Structure 1
Amino acid sequence: MERTILGVSLADKTRNEVIRERTKVTDIARRISQLKWQWAGHICRRTNGRWSRRVLEWRPRLGKRSVGRPLTHWSDDIRRIAGGGWMRRAKDRATWRALEKAYVQQWTVVV
Structure 2
Amino acid sequence: MINQVNQDVVSLLMKGTIPAASTDNVREAQRRRQADMSRLRTQKSDYDSYRSAGGGSPEQRQQQTAPVRVEKKVGRNDPCPCGSGKKYKHCHGRGTSDSAGA
The bucket for the TM-score relative to the shorter chain is under 0.3
Structure (1 or 2) with the greater helix fraction: 1
**Rg comparison, structure with higher value:** 2
TM-score normalised to the size of structure 2? 0.27
Which structure has more RCO (C-alpha within 8 Å, separation ≥ 6)?
A: 1
